[in-house]
Amino acid sequence: MTRDNWTNKIYQITSLLSSRVKSLCRGALQSAEKGLQPRLDDIDAVYTWVDSADTQFAKDFDKYYDLENPPGDPLNYHQHRYRDSEELRYSLRSLEINAPWINRIFLVTNGQVPSWLNVKHPRLSLVKHSEIFPDQSHLPTFNSLAIETHLHRIKGLSKRFLYFNDDMFLGKKTIRADFISTDGKPKIRVEAWILPEFSEESDLTFKWLAFNHVLLKNYFGDFKFVMLSHAPCLFDRHSIIEVQEIWKTEFLNGSAMRFRTPNSAALYVLYPHYEAFAKRVELVEEVSENCTFVMIKEPLELAVQELEKIKRDRPQFFTINDNWHKDPKDKYIVVQKFLNDYFPNPSSFEK
């Protein structure tokens, strides 16, 4: 891409801040502003959560899997993707201890509520999928990518919000400056890992990552696009709307997909690069010592060693991902012991 083409592309992106887009942003957020109005400098936290042990969830999952999932495709049917080992309980403990500057917490679910959760907590709000999906025919959904598409629609949510998966944890104290640069730009942590190219032999995750890679290349050109780190990410609600205007068809189609597919648009892949090209965020390549990812899989002894290393090194961010296919009790015991040792004191979000 020549310098002139590059300049034109940057101009195209920044021109999205025209009165037309600003009007669109105001309209999309109008309903939220009628609720609790956060201060401009507030930062809320948003969690998504699900529990596959819930009877209604399992019933709905089986029903729509049989109806909609491609025949012979087992890739979506992983109960560990929806399994709950009470990671959310400990993530909230980590948040309360290590990010006391967070304003409010929004928990987005399909209507499920953790049995241990203090639902009367003044800083906690429960949000059902039905409250943020404009098209109710897309529900129920079992696709986290579709759910993430609509998080900016939460009523009363701060303009900038920190998004957590329930298996993400703050390992030590954080301050606002860990997420916002001195010139006010959000810091978004990325890895050195380049997004994959499409291959028929790839698994489902690599296929939809490759699909988003193509979307980025088609819009911005042939640059190196990297993967977002497994860490809480600071999003801007107005910018999300701009991103979804660019890839409007892909996001609309993705919202309707109850399960992940190779053609799933992923906000957390597209958003950081859009914002970086618009020069509104700072992409920070995170070192593994400060942002650690542990996959619970065979052999379990190796996962235990990695968890022990986290306990010793105390990284600022860590994620414990579930890819355990044997007796879930074995995984539960290991994760519970580690998390309870790391965060032993109950938070005010627990009964």
* Residue 24: band (very low, low, confident or very high) from pLDDT cuts 50, 70, 90: very low
Is the per-residue pLDDT at 32 higher than 90?
no
Q: What is the pLDDT of residues 160-213, one digit of tens each?
A: 999 999 999 999 999 999 999 999 999 999 998 999 998 887 888 899 999 999
The CATH code of domain 40-290 reads: 3.90.550.10
Q: What is the mean pLDDT of residues 132-156?
A: 97
Q: What is the pLDDT of residue 15?
A: 52
Could you give the CA distance from residue 176 to residue 186 in angstroms, rounded to a whole number?
Answer: 10
Q: What is the mean pLDDT of residues 116-141?
A: 98
pTM of the model: 0.88
Is the per-residue pLDDT at 125 higher than 90?
yes
* Residue 5: band (very low, low, confident or very high) from pLDDT cuts 50, 70, 90: low
Could you give the CA distance from residue 88 to residue 349 in angstroms, rounded to a whole number?
Answer: 10
Domain ranges of the chain: 40-290
For 22, the token pair is 């600003």
| 267: phi then psi, degrees, rounded to nearest 5 | -55, -40
CA 136 → CA 34, 59, 127, 264, distances in Å?
21, 19, 15, 19
Q: What is the pLDDT of residue 70?
A: 55
State the DSSP code for 248.
H
Q: What is the mean pLDDT of residues 255-259?
A: 94
| 167: phi then psi, degrees, rounded to nearest 5 | -105, 15
pLDDT top residue among 12 and 336: 336
Average pLDDT of every residue of the chain: 88
| 303: phi then psi, degrees, rounded to nearest 5 | -60, -40
Q: What is the pLDDT of residue 155?
A: 98
Q: What is the pLDDT of residue 72?
A: 47
Could you give the CA distance from residue 257 to residue 255 in angstroms, rounded to a whole number?
Answer: 6
Is the per-residue pLDDT at 17 higher than 80?
no
Q: What is the pLDDT of residues 78-103, one digit of tens each?
A: 666 788 999 999 999 999 999 999 99
Q: What is the pLDDT of residue 133?
A: 98
Is the per-residue pLDDT at 18 higher than 70?
no
Say if residue 30 is exposed, middle or buried (CB neighbours under 10 Å; 0-12, 13-18, 19+): exposed
Is the per-residue pLDDT at 30 higher than 50?
no
Q: Above pLDDT 70, what percent of the chain? A: 85
Nearest to 224 by CA among 171, 185, 273: 273
Q: Above pLDDT 90, what percent of the chain? A: 73
Nearest to 148 by CA among 265, 7, 307, 261: 265
Beta bridge partners of 317: 170, 291
Q: What is the pLDDT of residues 38-81, one digit of tens each?
A: 566 899 999 999 998 889 998 998 899 888 875 445 555 566 67
Quote the Cα angle for 75-149-263, to 5°. Answer: 40
